[in-house]
Amino acid sequence: MGTRGRQAEAARNDLRLLQAAHKVFTTQGFDAPVSAIAKQAGVGMGSLYRRYRTKEELFQRLCLIAMERVAEAAEAGLAEPDPWAGLELYVRTCVGFRSGALAPVAGAIEVTDEMWRTSRRATELADRLITRAREAGVLRSDVTTLDVSLLMEQFSRPAPDGEQPHVKERLLAITLDGLRAPGVTELPGDPPSAEWYEGRWGQAP
């Protein structure tokens, strides 16, 4: 096998590992052994450890990918000319890939500089999307970017055993309607702060 063939195979193995890790961690819990990931991916433990020396490295990579996908979803939303359609696309996309599924590891792993940079880029894009929808009068004026992020995090939790497939779609439709302007019920308390949100993951640089 040539160099390109080996690189392609390594890339495929890495993708299988990441997909398997996400499935194992979000269904079996974050204390699941790495052997379960290797088994799910259909690769040997040696392949796993050559790519990720520790479970923390694996978590860091998974979190980074999730942040990158959130940024891409926000960019896709901004590309939509209609502010509400763009916001809805962003929320549905992030809920679809369970963008906040790894939130429970907050504070348990070191956040790399690349993770902070990617997270802030995703937040800046989401801010633009939320601000545009608010200024267009389609999003209630008291909803913040962090409100939306935390909402999507709630939808990222594993579904209870036996839950019907359409239940999440029903709840998401109800929630999206609740975001629409002007809003009926006054939101209680102050909105979540960026300092609190980032503080869950550790001290920001």
Task: Give pLDDT tens digits for 143-188.
Answer: 999 999 999 999 988 766 666 778 889 999 999 999 999 998 999 9
Show me where the domains of the chain are located. 1-53, 64-199
Q: Report the CATH superfamily, name and number, of domain 64-199.
A: Tetracycline Repressor, domain 2 (1.10.357.10)
**pLDDT averaged per 10 residues, the chain (length 205):** 57 81 83 87 84 88 92 98 98 92 87 94 97 97 95 84 78 94 91 88 70
pLDDT of residue 72: 96
- What is the spatial distance between Cα 170 and Cα 120, in angstroms, rounded to a whole number? 31
What's residue 19's pLDDT? 87
pLDDT at residue number 10: 61
Percent of the chain scoring above 90 in pLDDT: 49
Q: pTM for the full model? A: 0.86
pLDDT of residue 205: 60
Q: What is the pLDDT of residue 81?
A: 98
- What's the confidence (pLDDT) of residue 160? 67
Distance CA 95, CA 114 (A): 23
* Fold of the 1-53 domain: Arc Repressor Mutant, subunit A (1.10.10)
